[in-house]
Amino acid sequence: MSTRVDPNLLIDLQDYGAVGAEKCFNCGTCTAMCPLTSDEHPFPRNMIRLAQVGAKEQLLASTDPWLCYYCGDCASTCPKEAEPGETMMALRRWLTAQYDPTGLSAKLYTSETAVIKTIVRIGLIVLVLFIGYHALTGFHNIVTNSVQLNTFAPVMLVWALVLLHGSMLFYRMIAGVFKMSRHVLAPVTMGNKVPLRIYLETLPVYITAFATQRRWRDCHGDDEEKHDDGRWFKHFLLVTGYVTMLVLILGFLWWFQTDAFYPLWHPQRWLGYYATIVLIYTSSEILIGRWRKTEQLHRFSQPTDWLFPTFILTGAVTGIFVHIFRYAGWAWPTYIIYVIHVMAMVAMLDTEVGVGKWAHLFYRPLAMYLEAIKAKVREEQLVPDFAPTGTD
Amino acid sequence: MKNLQVDALVVGGGIAGMQSALDLADQGFHVALVEKEASIGGKMISLSKVFPTLDCCSCITTPKMSAVAHHENITLLTYCEVVALEQNGASYRAQINKKPRYVNEESCTGCRLCEYACPLDLPSAFDMGLGAQRVIRVPFSTAVPQKAVLDIDNCILCGKCENVCPVADCIDFTQTAVTFEIHADAIVLATGFELTPTDAKAEYGGGKLRNVVDALTVERFLAPTGPYGHVLRPSDGKEPESIAYVQCAGSRDISLGVAYCSRICCMYAIKQAMLLSGALPLADITIYYMDIRTFGKGYEQFYQNARAMGIEFVRGKVARIHEDAAQNPVVRVEQIDDGSVVEREHDMVVLSVGMLPSYNPGLIYNVPVAADDGFVAQSAANISPCLTYQPGIFVAGTAAGPMDIVDSIVMAGAAAAETAAYLEERRAVGMAGNGRSPQTTSVKEVSYA
């Protein structure tokens, strides 16, 4: 079987943050240091090698970048300062861009101006929508003697727009998911369809991986000095906060965005408080880490690495201020901060879902899911329809 | 001690320094050779055999050591260190610190009666801590000069050595360091190298694993004058049945601060593997390597012979070494040829440590080191490799960068030739020469280079 090589691949990857891949002399220290490698997935050296020789197809078919959680053991022991972990990080960005059907991801990852332009454009669109809505209603819906948020922004209308926007983004995400699945499964299925049964049987892999990010806890291996579940736990907290908010807004916005005043024990309040506290704490923690650069994984931050935690922090802070101003009875501040909140959140979703850092939420568990499917297909030896081994 | 006036001062008494001193002295120049250890011979005298000819190392080195000691034009100064080297008019003035031997160097006959009488054993420095040495001893059997030296820090002052010494007032517990000057028209720096310490890399056990040794230790195992006359691993004296070499354990590794290749490690590992195959015919020997660099005459054939002998070569840099319950080192490595990560247990692991510069630029006048590796900077590395940035100061051997014995000897000869030419040119223009006092002309006026 012939392999098409892309001689510019390494240069392209440098735009995505592969800062030292060209220095690698393939000694294998990184792979032997990594506590997450296995016989089937001996990364990161294999990935760097594929990048060096321009084997684009093999990289697209590989899930290895998503199996790495960047503990940094490879980087600290690399004899060439080739930054293997950073190459894995760059590959995750590059793969996200490759899976993204719209091409937006590639632009955001390779150009800072594109990031700023996109955010400003989306923010302005939201602002225009607000102004347009109130112009059409003759500005009668802006009640200023008391806080009437659901009059300023009728919740059912907002919810409908959220769901519409969400489904568009979901479509973009799913298109990426399909593209990734196609690439990853192709070497095993050889053009055949995997039976639905196998998809269903292996589904628990996806669910556990998504919910727990359990694999991460093996980082640093049995090195007790370095082993630290703290990073995993903080991320886990972040996920719980994020998912809580996602569910509240997508499923229960009609209940969550309200003009009513609830007692403190009411779930509308404490769910919101929990998510806000967790999101503010974890996102600031990430931002401070990136700023201080004390940890291996924080030494080479790309603009897009700052973006997602900054958005989360902005969303949580503006969100809680909407709440505070509303309870304080300040109409204008509530409305203004609400508009800012929506502008920021729409900009975040447009520049993140399926195209930015956010995408790892889907792709990481998906990688493990697809590997489970591949293993199952091989295990059941669905020959002659399926090739027994693949080239990954 | 009296100040000395010589034509050339050679700093370092290893193979390069000895060769430079001999080549200059043979041409009639007066040479002072300063060596910081109690015996000349450098690293080479502790080696077993040389690659690729497998000649006995002592047999090549000792004649040169004796020749240096007995040459009428060479003043040999052992246990002396250059503490400062300054320009003095057109020539150089070196301040020398002679460390106390606590033994009168003139009267000591090297009979070793003191050594036999001494009741204290210490780990032998010459045998890399494997064997024992007395507190007062001749440094090693073929040491030049054959003069005793006493380690005052470990001495209990029992006086037994003094009682048995047949020479009156030879052992002197009150000796102190002496400072004197050497005036020389030219200098040859042959300060050699240090080995990467075994504790440099935490992933390789940080020097704490007893059965992880460096290659110089194995040289002592293999040398006929070695401590055991046999290959025995350090932790329990077991004869190792499986020995692994970890290549690039001190070179080509920026995490150790060493980006360069030390050049000698591939060849000495292959050589040792061959010698070990002879010493332990049943042992399995594995060399973990990134690439084998056989750059010299006959080297590639030597390597192919080793492969043909059954020595296993595994491509991949060892990432980590840890110990199992029986103190067997376990290496973890990605075998590049098939991409599998394995952990393999061996009885003994040898770190192929690299070369670090041992030259201290702070002591020597105006001779900088190269910024990238710390070895003496050469002003014209490709056409006149022995020149430093200071006229009249030349460099030879591994002071200039990693090289093997053959290259060191060649470079030492070249340095001697450069030095001789420099000295002759000075004589031709009527400047200071042999025995004459230096004039106050600036060196820059000498048409040189």
Q: What does the pLDDT look like over B414-436, one tens digit per residue?
A: 999 999 999 999 988 877 554 44
More confident residue, B2 or A165: A165
CATH superfamily for domain B196-355: FAD/NAD(P)-binding domain (3.50.50.60)
**CB B357 within 8 Å of CB A65:** no
Residue B189 predicted with pLDDT over 80: yes
Q: What is the pLDDT of residue B437?
A: 39
Could B254 and A39 be called an inter-chain contact, meaning their C-beta atoms sit closer than 8 Å? no
A32, A76, A77: residue with CB nearest B334:
A32
Residues of A in contact with B334 (CB under 8 A): 28-29, 31-32, 42, 45
- What stretch of H or E contains A232? helix A230-256
Tokens (6 digits) for A284: 């600031």
pLDDT-derived band at A386 (thresholds 50, 70, 90) equals: low
Q: Which amino acid is at A135?
A: A
CA–centroid distance for B87 within its chain? 27
**Where does CATH 1.10.1060.10 sit in chain A?**
9-96
Helix segments in A34-154, DSSP class H: 45-53, 56-60, 64-67, 73-77, 84-99, 104-110, 112-136, 149-152
- What stretch of H or E contains A143? none
Per residue in B200-238, pLDDT (tens digit) is: 999 999 999 999 999 999 999 999 888 888 899 999 999
Phi, psi of B199 (to 5 degrees): -95, 10
B255, B320, B339: residue with CB nearest A42:
B339
**CB A337 within 8 Å of CB A318:** yes
Mean pLDDT to the nearest integer, B113-120: 96
Tell me whether the omega of the peptide bond preceding residue A267 falls within 30 degrees of 0, making it cis. Answer: no
CATH of domain B4-99+178-192+358-445: 3.50.50.60
Closest chain B residue to A25, measured at CA: B290
Between vectors from CA B401 to CA B397 and to CA B404, what angle results, nearest 5°? 55
Q: Distance between CA atoms of A53 and A8, rounded to whole angstroms?
A: 9
We find that the CATH architecture of domain B100-176 is 2-Layer Sandwich (3.30)
- Which one, of A64, A63, A69, A43, lies nearest residue A234 by Cα? A69
Could A79 and B253 be called an inter-chain contact, meaning their C-beta atoms sit closer than 8 Å? yes
HSE at residue A80, side-chain half, CA atoms within 13 A, is 21
Q: Distance between CA atoms of A172 and A356, rounded to whole angstroms?
A: 12
- CATH topology for A9-96 is Fumarate Reductase Iron-sulfur Protein; Chain B, domain 2 (1.10.1060)
Q: Which of residues 67-126 of A touch B (CB under 8 A)?
A: 76-81
pLDDT-derived band at A385 (thresholds 50, 70, 90) equals: low
Is B196-355 in the same CATH topology as B100-176? no
Percent of chain A past pLDDT 90, that is, above it, reads: 75
Q: What is the pLDDT of residue B412?
A: 98
Could B317 and A29 be called an inter-chain contact, meaning their C-beta atoms sit closer than 8 Å? yes
**CB A292 within 8 Å of CB A298:** yes
* Pairing, β B318-323 against β B329-335: antiparallel
**Residue B344 Cα distances to B213, B313, B348, angstroms:** 17, 14, 11
**CB A86 within 8 Å of CB A78:** no
Other residues' Cβ atoms within 10 Å of the Cβ of residue B281 = 7
Residue B8 predicted with pLDDT over 90: yes
Strand partners, B150: B136
Place of tokens 């109690």: B38
Q: Distance between CA atoms of B8 and B15, rounded to whole angstroms?
A: 17
Residue A251 predicted with pLDDT over 70: yes
**CB B434 within 8 Å of CB B420:** no
Q: For A129-132, which contacts have Cβ atoms below 8 Å and span 24 or more sequence positions? A: A130/A339, A130/A342
pLDDT-derived band at A267 (thresholds 50, 70, 90) equals: very high
Mean pLDDT to the nearest integer, B388-397: 95
Per residue in A174-195, pLDDT (tens digit) is: 999 999 999 999 888 877 888 8
* Pairing, β B121-123 against β B132-134: antiparallel
Q: Which of A145-154, A380-389, B27-36, B240-249 has the lowest mean pLDDT?
A: A380-389
Between vectors from CA B400 to CA B396 and to CA B406, what angle results, nearest 5°? 55
Q: Distance between CA atoms of B130 and B120, rounded to whole angstroms?
A: 16
Residues of A in contact with B256 (CB under 8 A): 79
Q: Distance between CA atoms of B287 and B273, rounded to whole angstroms?
A: 8
Percent of chain B past pLDDT 70, that is, above it, reads: 96
Could B255 and A42 be called an inter-chain contact, meaning their C-beta atoms sit closer than 8 Å? no
Could A32 and B255 be called an inter-chain contact, meaning their C-beta atoms sit closer than 8 Å? no
Q: Distance between CA atoms of A354 and A101, rounded to whole angstroms?
A: 9
Q: Distance between CA atoms of A291 and A284, rounded to whole angstroms?
A: 10
Other residues' Cβ atoms within 10 Å of the Cβ of residue A191 = 8
CA–centroid distance for B306 within its chain? 26
Could B248 and A42 be called an inter-chain contact, meaning their C-beta atoms sit closer than 8 Å? no
- Share the mean pLDDT of chain B: 92
Q: What is the pLDDT of residue A208?
A: 92
Q: How far apart are the first and last CA of chain B?
A: 36
Mean pLDDT to the nearest integer, A314-329: 95
HSE at residue A40, side-chain half, CA atoms within 13 A, is 12
In sequence order, which residues have a C-beta less than 8 Å from that of residue A230 and are 6 or more positions away?
A: none
Residue B249 predicted with pLDDT over 90: yes
Q: Which of A21-30, A58-67, A163-172, B428-437 has the lowest mean pLDDT?
A: B428-437
Closest chain A residue to B288, measured at CA: A27
Domain boundaries, given as residue ranges, for chain B:
4-99+178-192+358-445, 100-176, 196-355
A26, A33, A81: residue with CB nearest B336:
A26
Q: Which amino acid is at B295?
A: F
Question: Which of A27, A50, A80 to mutate to probe the B interface, most B CBs <10 Å?
Answer: A27
DSSP 3-state of A93: helix
Closest chain A residue to B335, measured at CA: A28
In sequence order, which residues have a C-beta less than 8 Å from that of residue B227 and are 6 or more positions away?
A: B124, B127, B130, B131, B132, B220, B221
Residue A382 predicted with pLDDT over 80: no
Could A25 and B290 be called an inter-chain contact, meaning their C-beta atoms sit closer than 8 Å? yes
Place of tokens 């390789």: B204
Could A79 and B336 be called an inter-chain contact, meaning their C-beta atoms sit closer than 8 Å? no
Mean pLDDT to the nearest integer, B106-126: 95
Question: Which of A23, A25, A29 to mutate to probe the B interface, most B CBs <10 Å?
Answer: A29
Could B203 and A27 be called an inter-chain contact, meaning their C-beta atoms sit closer than 8 Å? no
Could B341 and A78 be called an inter-chain contact, meaning their C-beta atoms sit closer than 8 Å? no
- What are the counts of helices (DSSP H) followed by strands (DSSP E) for chain A? 18, 0
Q: Distance between CA atoms of A308 and A311, rounded to whole angstroms?
A: 5
Could A79 and B319 be called an inter-chain contact, meaning their C-beta atoms sit closer than 8 Å? no
Cα of A350 to nearest chain B Cα, Å: 40
A72 DSSP assignment: S
In sequence order, which residues have a C-beta less than 8 Å from that of residue A247 and are 6 or more positions away?
A: none
DSSP 3-state of A298: helix
Could B316 and A42 be called an inter-chain contact, meaning their C-beta atoms sit closer than 8 Å? no
Tokens (6 digits) for B354: 């690299």
Residues of B in contact with A223 (CB under 8 A): none
Q: Distance between CA atoms of B135 and B123, rounded to whole angstroms?
A: 10
Other residues' Cβ atoms within 10 Å of the Cβ of residue A83 = 27
Could B334 and A78 be called an inter-chain contact, meaning their C-beta atoms sit closer than 8 Å? no
**CB B370 within 8 Å of CB B163:** no
Tokens (6 digits) for A261: 């005043």
Residue B151 predicted with pLDDT over 90: yes
Mean pLDDT to the nearest integer, A229-244: 90
Place of tokens 């609400």: A338
Q: Distance between CA atoms of A208 and A199, rounded to whole angstroms?
A: 15
Residues of A in contact with B253 (CB under 8 A): 79
Per residue in B82-95, pLDDT (tens digit) is: 999 999 888 999 99
In sequence order, which residues have a C-beta less than 8 Å from that of residue B259 and are 6 or more positions away?
A: B252, B253, B372, B373
Q: Reduce the secondary structure of chain B to three states and give it as a string.
A: CCCEEEEEEEECCCHHHHHHHHHHHHCCCCEEEECCCCCCCCCHHHCCEECCCCEEHHHHHHHHHHHHHHCCCEEEECCEEEEEEEEECCEEEEEEEECCCCECCCCCCCCCHHHHHCCCEEECCCCCCCCEEECEECCCCCCCCCCCEECHHHCCCCCHHHHHCCCCCCECCCCCCEEEEEEEEEEEECCCEEECCCCCCHHHHHHCCCCEEEHHHHHHHHCCCCCCCCCCCCCCCCCCCEEEEECCCCCCEHHHCECCCCCCHHHHHHHHHHHHHHHCCCCEEEEEECCCCCCCCCHHHHHHHHHHCCCEEEECCEEEEEECCCCCEEEEEEECCCCEEEEEECCEEEECCCEEECCCCCCECCCCECCCCCCECCCCCCCCCCECCCCCEEECHHHCCCCCHHHHHHHHHHHHHHHHHHHHHHHHCCCCCCCCCCCCCCHHHCCCC
Q: What is the pLDDT of residue A33?
A: 93
**Residue B400 Cα distances to A375, B191, B352, B397, angstroms:** 56, 9, 21, 6
Q: What is the pLDDT of residue B444?
A: 35
Other residues' Cβ atoms within 10 Å of the Cβ of residue A359 = 27
Q: What is the pLDDT of residue A227?
A: 75
Tokens (6 digits) for A214: 């359990």
**Residue B292 Cα distances to A49, B248, B265, B314, B343, angstroms:** 20, 10, 9, 11, 22
Mean pLDDT to the nearest integer, A3-30: 93
HSE at residue B79, side-chain half, CA atoms within 13 A, is 23
Residue B446 predicted with pLDDT over 60: no
